[in-house]
Structure 1
């Protein structure tokens, strides 16, 4: 089912075009709109106030109910979405409500309120322009802030023409058209329904932010105003609203502030002089359980700006109708699991490529990729593994068997291998080589080559953790690292018992396998004593520094094993950082000759999980290379480990965009510090027949080092 939805989205040129144009403009405009502001300080304030909400939820709910009731509002609190719908329908029947106008509200989308009101014979009209278009089209929003972003002006013109009356696809005319028709709805509505962006417990105040003024009309004109608010919108004090208001519009629509910010905390008079009714429905729908979860409580820090969607490389290809349900994108996956149930998020969990691009822009500092991994763990534990998956991971769990299979595959690949690449695969595997060529497995693995490397003896020693790709596909990267470290006076050791870092199992939620890999590696790496444990793959480095510990704790391993993992963590360092350090210390030197231009691709784990950005650039430039930055250098190449095998159609499109950005620089050399990125980009370059080299930085550095020595 999900594969069919993906294919449908991929054939929609309007969808990818609209989302890509918006995403490109968003990144540039967002950077400008935050100039002069301390974004990190604002984030910390939001984290502080919203985590307080999660920790004191019951208290704040009671405080808000009292404050709002004292202001004259009628407040109804419930755990159950059915009770929200029933309350509104009964209120409407009691007051003979025939028509309702609504402003944009994700909370009412969550409980499918419109459907139930219509079934009760009540006319419902969305008044946010995007929501009205979607309502007329019979669709659901594809984006939490920009619900109709997937539609072109021609699409909108067709919808208006079919559902209302003929109108040309001229934007200004269509806006006037919508204003004219919606104004009639406002004037005749008996009830107005809104959501709220913030609910202040101290004063019983609702804060509603809009750009079209429709929410104010929805609240002001009908005699009854109903606000449907999830309890996560609560904050303790009015001061807590300020950092949210300063970041919400900047992060959502790159504005300084929304056009209208309304503070509602009291009954007002209707135009005929009567008192308006203000009903506030606070609802839970598993949010209190979310607040009590030590990991997932951070979702209370979400201010619904959807900035995570705007920078997601997957979302801009397939959109929210595929990547999401009511709530869309990565954060939508998490909210879906809690509001609709874990199984409802099953298909969309896998769409996250784990690039972490969302984390850096989230005003609430929510680690969306990590939380999605937790959902995968829960699902794997709840549903178990099918026979095929069990078979695969039983192999990965057995180091000797796994390595034997890889060595055997290096022989069996011969009919398909040419010049180091596998360019075509037969039958159902053909999809894997449509967008890129695959690397051939090396004839001789690094672990076997290492035995023949002659090194000078030294008191300074480093253990090399190779990871699967360097060990069995790109052994030359490992050899380059050994040469560079030897030049700096460091002897390299290679524990043969090391195995896969567990990433394939970890990112699939199969934690017992990942933890077993972690334990095997910890024991292997501590079997020899060294100053450093070095990896030339950022995914492996993250495993060494962070994931091994988490895996072992998660699977309840003994304290002594966890302490060993912590010891590995303190010694672990990525090769890009260590080599840069040694260059700066004068231990590795290059002659700056034959200056060549290059561009650099930032591996996702290197820049975001390890915060390493300048170091590899500095190292390469110190060797005499001239850097030309590519557009979106820090955007995922589409590899994502096993992601490129599960979703090759999405991975391939992300790769194509990366190749276009590379070609625009005009360089003939692309450097990166991740063997997975080398595999993805080099495979794409080969498939397109481009005259461009793609190399791990270590390969380039050692080449220039060797040429210097020859001189």
Structure 2
């Protein structure tokens, strides 16, 4: 483990032991989905609104140079001075020179994450300027000496007792923990700052090319004071905030408050354009003076992203931070573990462009790819996909660590070696094995099996059982090629047997191409596209030769990789891309395929049962493949079972491939939340359609809820199939 990982591990441990942080984030994560859903109750078509935001922002980035020029021209024609800052140093130099030229001594600030991005306050104070944050959250963290932990709620990691203590120190009086009192104390303390300030610095939620105006969406009103009272107003706005017309502000104003804080609208919506007179005190008298407006269009990597066919997607972000609000990792540890200014998955991507790829590489593994953020993002940004693209970029630039590269190239990409090692593991695990699980490990490995048992490699893999479970089908309805994936083949071969049983009961002929290997997802997840291509080519060749009507997988991760990723891998190889697309269209996930066949046969009738079963949605299944109704239909129709829904059924179980092992300290709290919901459902059986989820949840059940059994949906269905 390198030093950077050790530092992140230390940060994670510290945050996991911070009861104040965990309590605040836990309460917010619980309340947020409810308040957001309520805020959208009167929106007739939420998806259409999200699509409107996406299309508008896509059009913006496609024409960013012209829009920026128009915005500059319109703002200039209304009296503003526009400066384009290539990077943070250029911005700071311009601003400090402006302060010296205009004899600025005191500055008030509001709503500017871009200034946090370049640590602007530090340089302004080093230049002898008095700088005061006026957003309540920003003021609090400035008193605490912290960085923002959230893009919208920067002080979410602190409680009222801590804040009262910071206030007491700053104001040199005892401040009680009463929130209204603290807000009033802050208002009183900051009032003089507004009145004495020579310059106000603000950000902007959007800049309108049509008229050179900026828009600010706030709840406190301080931004209006910052933009109106001082004689000089400076706006720092990134290129990604530009929009074409005032009409284009409407979808942002409809989604931003709802997604950020669950509000229908914020308390203040401010639009400002051009310069207006301002009252200043001269020789003891108030006189009217023309206000100066300076707009800094900030690049710092933004234009590079705009010109990248893949990463221009980040321009669809409206900075609502809803992706953080639903991220399983963020809601455990907060934003500070991400190191830079921007947190969560979107923060990792922004860090790559606005700071450095090196900083991205330190934090990218904290995205577990659950896609909850994609489901909720107003701009429909595919955050996990962009993170995988950046991982691939990192691998292209400086390769994988030697050990990882050796395993990928010589083991995962070589089926015979890989499978031989798995067979050897089945023998080597015997001293630690208890039934089908490993409950205890020795020495430094003990922590891996502390709170969850680990799955044992099966004595006999599924490929060795195929001949015994294959039946001769007269006049088969279809010819199915079964892609087992590593987990079903070597960890859960009984699931493979259940799949055969169910399909053969539907009069399907099933073949198992023995040359098949791993789908390549572990390699793809690490960014090694070249090794993934080798694996994909071999699998494509093997299943082309199978000459099947359908390729079926009982693992949604494998199905998603075949169906959506293989063709993309070969974007630069047209012949292989065509082959990948052609065979990808044949790939089906087990429950969706069987539900369709059962529907045709009239076998989806709901039945009464005494045994309660609940269902966990795999992330790849629901949000990757869009499959969630079909497994429920099958379970509801399974004789002897009563389907009951559990809370947060589609929330990640914390497995996420290697993440579940490498970051077990994060994986386990996520799993414990899932186990608590399973227990609360009062179900005797938890059904899943993903072998990786089965691996994770089974391990937790064994240690904490041994009375509850876990079954793949295929196993539930097979119980009612006669041999």
> Is the pair's TM-score, using the shorter chain for normalization, greater than 0.5?
yes
Give SS of 1:527's match: helix
Offset at 1:278? 0.8
Structure 1 residues 365 and 594: alpha-carbon distance in aligned structure 2, compared to 1, 3 A threshold: closer
Structure 1 residues 40-49 or 422-431, which shifts more? 422-431
User: Is 2:211 the counterpart of 1:203?
Assistant: yes
Match of 2:4 in 1: none
C-alpha separation in 2, matches of 1:705 and 1:596: 18
What are the superposed Cα offsets for residues 194-240 of structure 1, whole Å, 9 maximum, x if unpaired?
00000000100100111000000111111111110001110111111
Structure 1 residues 70-79 or 598-607, which shifts more? 70-79
Match of 1:29 in 2: 35
User: Is 2:230 the counterpart of 1:222?
Assistant: yes
Match of 2:696 in 1: 680
Give SS of 2:480's match: strand
Unaligned runs of 5+ in 1: none
C-alpha separation in 1, matches of 2:607 and 2:206: 58
Partner residue of 2:517 out of 499, 512, 532: 499
Give SS of 1:415's match: helix
Give SS of 2:104's match: coil
Offset at 1:593? 5.8
C-alpha separation in 1, matches of 2:545 and 2:449: 40
Match of 1:47 in 2: 54
Partner residue of 1:284 out of 274, 299, 302: 299
Partner residue of 2:428 out of 412, 416, 437: 412
Contact 1:603/1:636 (<8 A) preserved: yes
C-alpha separation in 1, matches of 2:533 and 2:169: 57
C-alpha separation in 2, matches of 1:72 and 1:589: 69
Offset at 1:78? 2.3
User: Is 2:144 the counterpart of 1:126?
Assistant: no
Offset at 1:119? 0.2
User: Is 2:403 the counterpart of 1:397?
Assistant: no
Match of 2:72 in 1: 65
C-alpha separation in 1, matches of 2:462 and 2:30: 41
Partner residue of 1:601 out of 616, 622, 630: 616
- Where in structure 2 are the equivalents of 1:661-672 lying within 5 Å? 661-672=677-688
Match of 1:102 in 2: 109
- Where in structure 2 are the equivalents of 1:72-151 lying within 5 Å? 72-151=79-158
Give SS of 1:462's match: strand
Contact 1:639/1:680 (<8 A) preserved: yes
Q: Root-mean-square deviation (CA), in Å? A: 1.4
Structure 1 residues 644-653 or 129-138, which shifts more? 644-653
User: Is 2:319 the counterpart of 1:301?
Assistant: no
Match of 1:7 in 2: 13
C-alpha separation in 2, matches of 1:95 and 1:676: 63
Contact 1:590/1:705 (<8 A) preserved: no
Match of 1:156 in 2: 163
Match of 2:481 in 1: 463
What are the superposed Cα offsets for residues 62-85 of structure 1, whole Å, 9 maximum, x if unpaired?
101110011111111121221111
Match of 2:541 in 1: 523
Give SS of 2:359's match: helix
C-alpha separation in 2, matches of 1:15 and 1:570: 46
Offset at 1:323? 2.9
Unaligned runs of 5+ in 2: 1-6, 280-286
Give SS of 2:366's match: coil
Match of 1:190 in 2: 198
Match of 2:284 in 1: none
Partner residue of 1:19 out of 19, 25, 38: 25
Match of 2:282 in 1: none
TM-score (norm 2): 0.96
Match of 1:569 in 2: 584
Contact 1:604/1:634 (<8 A) preserved: yes
Match of 1:260 in 2: 268
C-alpha separation in 1, matches of 2:500 and 2:194: 73
Offset at 1:293? 0.5
C-alpha separation in 2, matches of 1:27 and 1:535: 32
Offset at 1:143? 0.3
Contact 2:604/2:634 (<8 A) preserved: no
Offset at 1:9? 1.0
Structure 1 residues 454 and 385: alpha-carbon distance in aligned structure 2, compared to 1, 3 A threshold: closer
Offset at 1:595? 3.1
Give SS of 1:645's match: helix
Offset at 1:689? 4.4
What are the superposed Cα offsets for residues 429-487 of structure 1, whole Å, 9 maximum, x if unpaired?
22321231111111100001002224132432101000000000000111111111111
C-alpha separation in 1, matches of 2:248 and 2:485: 46
Match of 2:562 in 1: 544
Contact 2:111/2:204 (<8 A) preserved: no
Contact 2:609/2:642 (<8 A) preserved: no
Give SS of 1:207's match: strand
C-alpha separation in 2, matches of 1:343 and 1:289: 17
Contact 1:72/1:267 (<8 A) preserved: yes
User: Is 2:186 the counterpart of 1:178?
Assistant: yes
Match of 2:283 in 1: none
Offset at 1:700? 0.8
C-alpha separation in 2, matches of 1:398 and 1:432: 27
C-alpha separation in 2, matches of 1:591 and 1:217: 62
C-alpha separation in 1, matches of 2:220 and 2:319: 18
Offset at 1:594? 4.0
Offset at 1:536? 0.3
Contact 1:231/1:282 (<8 A) preserved: yes
Partner residue of 1:421 out of 437, 440, 449: 437
Match of 2:706 in 1: 690
C-alpha separation in 2, matches of 1:453 and 1:51: 52
C-alpha separation in 2, matches of 1:256 and 1:367: 25
Partner residue of 2:369 out of 336, 354, 357: 354
What are the superposed Cα offsets for residues 168-191 of structure 1, whole Å, 9 maximum, x if unpaired?
222111111111111121111111
- Where in structure 2 are the equivalents of 1:347-386 lying within 5 Å? 347-386=362-401
What are the superposed Cα offsets for residues 381-430 of structure 1, whole Å, 9 maximum, x if unpaired?
22212221122212111100000000111011110000210011223322
